[in-house]
Amino acid sequence: MAQLSHDLHAALRAIHGGDLCSPCLWVLPVSGVAVTAVTDPINSRTFSATDSVAARLDEIQLDLGEGPCWQAFSTARPVLIPDLRRCPADLWPVFADAVRPTVARSLFVFPLLVGRTRVGVLSLYRTVPGALGPAGVDTACALAGTVARELATRLLEPAPTRLAALSELEGTMDRSLVYIATGVTMVQLNLAAPAAFARLQAHAFAAGSTVADVAGQVINHRLQLPS
């Protein structure tokens, strides 16, 4: 217990120092971590990730607009999935199928709260099934509190400083192309933003691609979505 307390305090100090993801691996039996800044499906983005699997799990949910990250954010409560092969298909039918090709077998998502303000989610995955356990949940909640404060501080920084910090974060997914492509589609098809983004989502799903890939094609004039 004393060693865990020492390691947890070290992890919290490292998060406070700017490393939002990696310290979680020091004190939790997980394979990878992602921190997501959440607002809405168009503007949300992975802020940091320890590896490509964690980033991909985030991308799937941001592309689809469904999954445990959205539930954790909307309810301000952790969503714990000890076995992704038994993911509740009635809640997230498309997500349940989309995560099967990944190596992730369990996923634990914690809301990032500053007071009552929701700023994002902390996602932890493992390559083996199994519960995180009460002690693991308590530790993850403690980590999430510090991550939330650090993320909120970053998001409130002036835009040039914030973008510079984002470019230095390993594993960051840049979804700015999605935002731009949504604007292009709004103009081309005379649609509101949610409807334009839905067109990008639908095309990506039908093509077996990602929304980011479709967005790149739209911006580079290789694709114009039908009206």
Clarify whether residues 134 and 207 are in a common domain: no
Clarify whether residues 98 and 149 are in a common domain: yes
The single-letter DSSP state of residue 129 is: -
Q: How many other C-beta atoms are found inside a 10 Å radius of the C-beta of residue 87?
A: 21
Q: Of 168, 189, 209, which residue sits at a domain end?
A: 168
Clarify whether residues 210 and 147 are in a common domain: no
* In the block, residue with structure tokens 């004393």: 2
Phi/psi class of residue 171: alpha, beta or left (left: φ > 0; alpha: ψ in -120 to 50)? left
Q: How far is CA 50 from CA 42, 123, 166, in A?
A: 23, 11, 14
Contact 101, 118 (CB under 8 A): no
Residues in the chain with pLDDT values less than 50: 1-2, 160-173
Contact 69, 61 (CB under 8 A): yes
Clarify whether residues 39 and 150 are in a common domain: yes
Query: Quick check: is 225 in a domain?
Result: no
Q: What is the pLDDT of residue 174?
A: 56
Phi/psi class of residue 190: alpha, beta or left (left: φ > 0; alpha: ψ in -120 to 50)? left
Clarify whether residues 141 and 214 are in a common domain: no
Write out the H or E segment, with its range, that includes residue 8.
helix 2-16
How many domains does the chain divide into? 2
Q: What is the pLDDT of residue 170?
A: 40
Clarify whether residues 131 and 202 are in a common domain: no
**Rg of the chain in Å (alpha carbons):** 18
Q: Which domain holds residue 18?
A: 2-168
Q: What is the pLDDT of residue 162?
A: 45
Query: Quick check: is 226 in a domain?
Result: no
**pTM assigned to the model:** 0.78
Residue 77 belongs to domain with CATH number? 3.30.450.40
